[in-house]
Structure 1
Amino acid sequence: MADTTSPRGTKRARHACLNCRRKKTRCSGERPICAFCSRMQQECVYDAGTSIHPLTPYDVNLAARVAWLESKLGAIDWNSSDNLPPVLSDRPSPDGASIEGRQHDFDMTAHGSDFSCIPDMNILQSATDVYFRLCHNHPYSYFTESDFREKLQERCFPSYLLLSFMAVVARYSDDPFFKGQNALAAERFARTAWSQISDYIFSSDGEADIQTVQATSMLAINDFLFGRHRAASVKTGLCVRLAQTLRLGEQSEYDTWSEARRQESRMTFWSVYLLDKLVSCGRDRPPTILDADCTVTLPTLQKYSKATQTTLSALIQPSESSQVPQLDDFALVVFMASVLGRTVRFSLQRVSNPSYPPWDSRSEFASIYGTLLSFEAFSNSRPHAFDADIPFGYSSANKPEFAQSSHFIFAHVLYHYNQCILHHPFLLKFRLKSSHTRVPPTFLREAIRRNKEHADRLISILTFVQCEHLPISTFYGFCAVISGVIQRLHSATTTQSCLSRKDELFQSCLDFLDHAPHQYVHCKRMSTVLRTLQPNSAYADALMSPLLFPEHLHTQDDNIDELLWNTFDYGWLCDPNRPLEFEHQVPKTSSNSNYGEVQLPESSVGFDYEDWDCLLHIGAGGSLPAGSTAALANHL
């Protein structure tokens, strides 16, 4: 047994810095700055009473390098070798490495550190210009530009918010600071921001505030852009829970706040609400936020807007004698997102009351359709707003101003998307196939007509936005797929009426996806999906027939059924690990009907975490169990 009194057996305890003591975290003890303070970019202060030996300049420099390297090693995802910086994934043998070579490796690591630390004020101001030109109001709105710039100058933002902000901006900026490595910069900024948010929220004295909600929401959006749908869903569930903890959706909380705080909190809550609804487009992801819990007034972005201050419930259930409110375009987007949640639940998730058939005026189908029609009244609908012969962005009786165009366009896109899903013949016939009542042919005929009409209008708006070089939301690619599927099914029928027009509209959908901004890699995958969809004429005729089961057409194509179901799944379409050769990868189903139910294969998005019960608990609004914080943070 070793002699504990000998010099080799004696161990000196390292003294923790004041920050680590206060946070109750393990301190590495390096001086002049420990690993925790280096990662959090805090001033590292040790107890003045602690006696230490004087450090040489070499020791100080070496300690700083070691602390920085430890902080970087803690942020690396060891499950993915692609994320390793060159100095760690391609390091030469220490025996054969010269001093110059090791110094060069360190310089390469220092170059990577540009993307994990907050840049200087000039870069932040340039990033602010990019954000409010290309990201703000598309459709999320977390800040007012003047207040954001003022707080930025006063250095009022926490580091994790600025890092999340830079992770979003890095995708769109051409600033020389990024040296052409925008995707890498976005990845590293986001990883560092998430590490800081995890340390802050899950520490013993951490608490939620509106800035953690904003930062977590932006990181979720960034994950969706990368195609990491599961990780993004977890972050979305977390920011929803944080917003609910702060009671941002309750109007009673706003009464004692200043006007500036009310505006920012209202914008942030409704942006989280939009994110929750948009990412729920699929068969297995119901929205988390309930409309009944949202009592806060709808957002207005203009300080002197004449828009009516109203609530979401007043729009969903208007009285016959109530005056039609004049709504801000952001409020219209929220309204259509609310209808989107109901449409997805009815058409894709099948959780509505089946007591009445959809052609009954008391049915959920009729209720959703009636709510959609009220959009035209609330929006003061301008039918010529997207005509190519009227210059967009100029004062016109039919067109909005450019500054307010983003939400105006997005609201109309959601309106037509809802109509396409609600009246989709594939979804309606799948729902009606188990019905024991006879389906009126007139109902299906009218639904198919409306479905085609709104699909045409949807792609015309998207084409208009692209031709006018207006900012494009990532969600627009999904809408182009929905419209393209409808155009493809109609062009595959044996009906020859307007065949060239159908092919032209389908090509417009492909063109929109092929010419989407280069940052939207998922649009290229979506374009491949449309090109893969090649239904035969018998299948298309059966689907577009006003009869539920046409007696003269008996066809079944499980591959097409499966592919059609997947086109309604936003996460599946964005999955970077999804195989592109669908004809060899789609599993057969055991359906015994023309439009049989299929089981969607579990998508793999490069996110491996064993304790899925824990993650689902968070997404449902629960809190983390003890001991799971570190494991979760390392996998997100």
Structure 2
Amino acid sequence: MSSSDGTAADASWERSDGRSRPPPTVNTIRRIRQACTNCRHRKTRCSGERPRCMNCRRVDRVCHYEPYSATNPPSSASVAANNGAAKGKSPSSLFPRTGVVDPELLNRINTIESQLAQLHSQGLIGFLNGENQNGSVAFPDLAAATSYQEVSPKFTEPSPPQHQYPPSVSETADTVPDMSSTMRFTTAPPPAVIAHLIDAYFLHVHNQPYSYFHEQSFRERVNYGLIPKCLLFAILASALKFSDSEYFQGSIREATEAYAREAWLAILHEHLTVENNPTLQVAQASNILGVVDFTCGRTSSGWLKIGLAIRIAQDLQLMKEPKNTLPPIEQEEHRRAFWSIYLLDKLVSVGQSRPPAIAEEDIHVQLPSDEETLRRGIWKKTPTLHQLINWKSETESSVNGTFTQTILAATALGRCCRYVLHGREMDEMPPWDPRSDFTLLNTFLLLIDHHLQVETPSIPQIVEQYRRPDGTLDFQSLEHVVFARIVFHTAHCLLNHPFLLRMRLQKSNCKVPPKFLTRSFQISCNHARSISSLVEDAIASGCHVQSSFYAYASILAGGILSLAIHIDQEKGQVTDPETLSHYQKAIQILERTGRRWDHASKMHLQLMLFDANYHSLAALLDSQTPEVDPKLESALWLMVDYVAMSALNETALTPPPLSTDTFLSPLNAQMGLENNDGFTGLAPDANSDPNVAFLGNGVPL
């Protein structure tokens, strides 16, 4: 029997009255009146027990029974009863012997049962047992909280179910339920708050730089309740940093952690089980949660979640072209989900012994289309990554979308990190040899420069290209242009970083040309200045510049410029005022970024501490110096390792000074700032800046 026939049979059985069913016997299979929502969607037999059926108890899942009217169309008898009631007749007078129950009463009873089941599953049943000290009982907005449970992709509705939203949004949008905040954030917020966070997500997070959705289709799926809980809560957690809703006033961090935790538990309990296979939405949610954890300092947890997203993407064959039977919008969402996972895999691999998990040679899916093509929902042929990064390709390939620019820059960054950070086996050629990997990487960066057109046009000119007729900016296209250039300059800074080159040459035991390290250092300084200039121009032009990766790019650039300032001071030379200005810009960028991202506030302090406590750095450029001081080596590793500086680790915040003598930062010395405790005058005050109030215990507030 088909599923549609079975549904019709169930509905027919539910409409029949008690006299048409035979009395139960010992051998008769007991059939329940209504299955819970989860069992109905999974087409499994439901025991019908209240408040939770056996299946939901077994997997520790919230059990929700829909109102009878949602699954049981009113019979002709009930319609007649309602018509009679409208004429002033009571239902009992119309049906004195049949025992037909008022459907409105059944609906109310079922709603109460659903609320009790939800309260029991959340551990709030104590409210009904007198555990509430103030004597008031507050029921959460269960309609909104339970409408985003997992729904089968085959399930469709002609219109959004009416029971998803509370009767009055204005009464719940800006009020706080009378329960502990911990419990308040274990369920979805009111619909108006969800809509606000989704708006914030598409304005500040989507395509900056990760891109997963076709916006219009996603909003429609939200309205129909077709977004799995894991994905919805992951989006709420990622958007909270950009929210100004009164609903989360004073609880942004708490709500972010609670929503991220609920999303992860939903992945574990509802998708990573025997009877459920991970879907595209699970891969998207896991990747989003990886960013949330990584930027909050939980780098190991974030690393594992990103790894899970990669494995799910490989299991779903996202690295290959999606089936052409899928609608163009779904095909593009598959591609963008994969490329977002690929991008994050490259960015979080900027650390020692953190190699990326996705190999370029295993990718066969074409690159994302431009934003306008995606919005129109049409298919467009785009080149593959292999075609764009191959000088010898016979295909006339071009960069069609700004997301592709970010992917190209991330590919270059990944290759540079593999060379300088991941402990790759030494190639036989020294870096100055034309056949060496170092030379090949510089050639590859030249190719990426050709695609990105890094030098021209300028950021203000690019911004005007993405200005709509009404004067607003197309942030979803524009932000990729800025981000790709920042990543490109970051790759150059890493490849030519004097410390990383010294560590590599230290293992090769070869004679180094006198000018090699000096020239490489000058290249890294030029690109470090380009990072601060780009960010400053982007901010002045109205771009968001809110990606978490900007924090790492800024501390890397600031660290290189700090080296240049120290080395000039040790040599008795006057530092170029432009270098001082760009160093100050890097400090300001970190301070600005730290207002939203936990790891950025730590990097801000880390750069200040490094500048104040370490000197005698000119030896890095001296090819005759055999080895780098071990303490200085440890401090310099912390200035280039994205994973180490993002982790919650006190040693990353307070590196031990090389000397007990009071040392004045060369930048502060030239600016007339002095502090007797050995720290720079620009160091943030823990009493005035909430972003650095974690100095006491190493844990940010």
Specify the code of the residue in structure 1 equivalent to 2:642. Answer: Y
User: Retained in 2: the 8 A contact 1:33–1:67?
Assistant: no
Q: TM-score, normalised by structure 2?
A: 0.68
CA distance in 1, matches of 2:265, 2:47: 16
Using the alignment, how far apart are the partners of 1:227 and 1:292 within structure 2?
Answer: 32
* TM superposition shift of 1:510: 1.0
Q: Give the direction of change, closer, same or farther, for the CA distance of 1:327–1:39 in structure 2 (3 Å limit).
A: same
* Alignment counterpart, residue 499 of structure 2, candidates 416, 419, 426: 426
2:518 to 441, 445, 449: 445
Q: Which amino acid aligns with 1:221?
A: V
The one of 330, 337, 340 equivalent to 1:271 is 340
- Any residues of structure 2 matched to 1:176-191 within 5 Å, and which? 176-191=246-261
The match for 1:572 among 644, 649, 673 is 644
Q: Does 1:169 align with 2:239?
A: yes
Q: Which amino acid aligns with 2:563?
A: L
Q: Cα–Cα, structure 1 residues 376 and 409, in superposed 2: closer, same or farther, change >3 Å? A: same
| Equivalent residue, structure 1, for 2:560 | 486
CA offsets 1:464-486 (integer angstroms, 9 cap, x no match): 33444522100000000100110
Alpha-carbon separation, structure 2, partners of 1:476 and 1:338 = 17
- Partner residue of 2:601 out of 511, 524, 528: 524
How far 1:62 moved relative to its partner?
10
Q: Quick check: 1:409 aligned with 2:482? A: yes
Using the alignment, how far apart are the partners of 2:132 and 2:260 within structure 1?
34
Deviation, 1:104, is 8.3
- After alignment, is 231-240 or 106-115 more displaced? 106-115
Q: CA deviation at 1:312?
A: 1.0
Root-mean-square deviation (CA, aligned residues, Å) is 4.1
2:305 to 235, 239, 251: 235
Counterpart Cα distance in 2 of 1:146 and 1:105: 32
Question: What is the Cα deviation at residue 30 of structure 1?
Answer: 4.9
Counterpart position of 1:124: 194
Matched, 1:458 2:531: yes
Alignment of 1:262 with 2:282, yes or no, is no
Q: For residues 573-601 of structure 1, give each alpha carbon's deviation from its aligned partner in whole angstroms, at most 9, with x where no partner exists.
A: 12234346624499xxxxxxxxxxxxxxx
Assess if the C-alpha contact under 8 Å between 2:556 and 2:639 holds in 1: yes
Give the Cα separation in 1 of the matches to 2:656 and 2:519. 36
CA contact (8 A) 2:319 2:338 kept: yes
With over 3 angstroms needed to count, the CA separation of the structure-2 counterparts of 1:61 and 1:319, relative to structure 1, is: closer
Q: Secondary structure at the match of 2:435?
A: coil
Work out the CA distance in 2 between the residues paired with 1:148 and 1:23.
25
Q: In structure 1, which of residues 180, 192, 214 is the aligned counterpart of residue 262 of structure 2?
A: 192
- What is residue 365 of structure 2 aligned with on the other side? 296
| Counterpart Cα distance in 2 of 1:98 and 1:206 | 38
2:435: which partner in 1?
Answer: 362
The alpha carbon displacement at 1:183 in A equals: 1.6
Question: Equivalent residue of 1:207, what SS?
Answer: coil
Contact 1:23–1:204 under 8 Å retained in 2:
no
Between the aligned partners of 1:208 and 1:537, the Cα distance in structure 2 is 49
Give the superposition deviation at 1:163.
Answer: 1.6
| Corresponding residue for residue 212 of structure 1 | 282
Where does 1:13-32 land on structure 2 (aligned, <5 Å)?
30-31=50-51
Offset at residue 536 of structure 1 (A): 8.1
Following superposition, the deviation at residue 69 of structure 1 comes to 5.7
Contact 1:33 1:64 in 2 (8 A): no
Is this contact kept in 2: 1:200–1:207, CA < 8 A? no
Q: Cα deviation per residue 1:355-382 (whole Å; 9 max; x = unaligned)?
A: 2211122221111111111122212444
Q: Which runs of no fewer than 5 residues in structure 2 stay unpaired?
A: 1-31, 69-106, 141-176, 659-696
Q: CA deviation at 1:140?
A: 0.1
Amino acid aligned to 2:208 = H
Does 221-230 or 98-107 show the bigger shift? 98-107
Rate the CA distance shift 1:329–1:390 in 2: closer, same or farther, 3 A. closer
Deviates more, 1:261-270 or 1:170-179: 170-179
Query: Residues of 1 paired with 2:520 and 2:491: CA distance?
Result: 13
Are 1:452 and 1:487, in contact at CA under 8 Å, matched by a contact in 2?
Answer: yes
Give the percent of matched residue pairs that are identical in Structure 1 and Structure 2: 27
Q: What is the match of residue 244 of structure 1?
A: 314
Identify if the C-alpha distance between structure 1 residues 308 and 360 changes in structure 2 by more than 3 Å, giving closer, same or farther: farther
1:540 aligns with 2:610: no
Larger radius of gyration between Structure 1 and Structure 2? 2
Is contact 1:456-1:505 (8 Å) kept?
A: yes
Shift of 1:532: 1.0
The TM-score with structure 1 as length reference comes to 0.75
Letter in 2 for 1:541: A
The alignment of Structure 1 onto Structure 2 pairs a total of residues equal to 542
- CA 1:403–1:538: 2 relative to 1, 3 Å: closer
State the AA in 2 paired with 1:222.
V
- Name the counterpart of 1:10: none
Q: Distance in 1 between matches of 2:357 and 2:212?
A: 20
**Aligned-residue offset at 1:229:** 0.8
Tell me if the contact between 1:220 and 1:233 (Cα under 8 Å) persists in the aligned partners: yes
In the superposition, relative to structure 1, how do residues 388 and 565 fare at CA in structure 2: closer, same or farther (>3 Å)? farther
Determine if the alignment matches structure 1 residue 43 to structure 2 residue 65. yes
What amino acid is aligned across from residue 484 of structure 1 in structure 2? G
Alpha-carbon distance, 1:43 to partner: 2.9
Aligned to 2:415: 342
Contact 1:227 1:576 survives alignment (8 Å)? yes
Q: More deviation in 482-491 or 311-320?
A: 311-320
The match for 1:285 among 354, 365, 368 is 354
| From 367, 371, 376, the counterpart of 2:449 | 376
Matched residue type, 1:211: Q
Cα distance in 1, alignment partners of residues 35 and 631 from structure 2: 62
Amino acid at match of 1:264: E
Residue deviations 1:63-83 (CA, integer Å, cap 9, x gap): 87875466446xxxxxxxxxx
Q: Tell me if structure 2 keeps the 8 A contact 1:127–1:169.
A: yes
Matched AA of 1:268: A
Task: Sort the Cα spacing of 1:197 and 1:420 in 2 relative to 1 into closer, same or farther, 3 A.
Answer: same
Q: CA deviation at 1:555?
A: 8.4
- Contact in 2 for aligned 1:538/1:555 (Cα 8 Å): no
CA contact (8 A) 1:32 1:60 kept: no
Q: Quick one: structure 1 residues 374 and 497, their matched pair in 2 at CA, closer, same or farther if it must change by over 3 Å?
A: farther
Amino acid at match of 1:147: S
Q: 1:161 to 1:390 in 2, by over 3 A?
A: closer
1:284 counterpart SS class: coil
Relative contact order higher in (CA < 8 Å, ≥ 6 apart): 1
Contact 2:366 2:384 in 1 (8 A): yes
- SS across alignment from 1:168: helix
Could you tell me how far 1:17 is from its partner in structure 2? 7.6
- Structure 1 residue identity aligned to 2:51: R
* Alpha carbons of structure 1 residues 115 and 321: separation in structure 2 relative to 1, 3 Å: same
1:423-477 deviations in Å (ceiling 9; x for gaps): 1111001101122332223332321121111111111112233444522100000
- AA matched with 2:361: A
Q: In the alignment, what sits opposite 1:160?
A: 230
Superposed CA offset, 1:397-448 (max 9, x none): xxx9655211000110010000000011110011011223322233323211
- After TM superposition, the structure 1 stretch with the greater mean CA deviation from structure 2, 358-367 or 232-241, is 358-367
2:207 is the counterpart of 1:137: yes
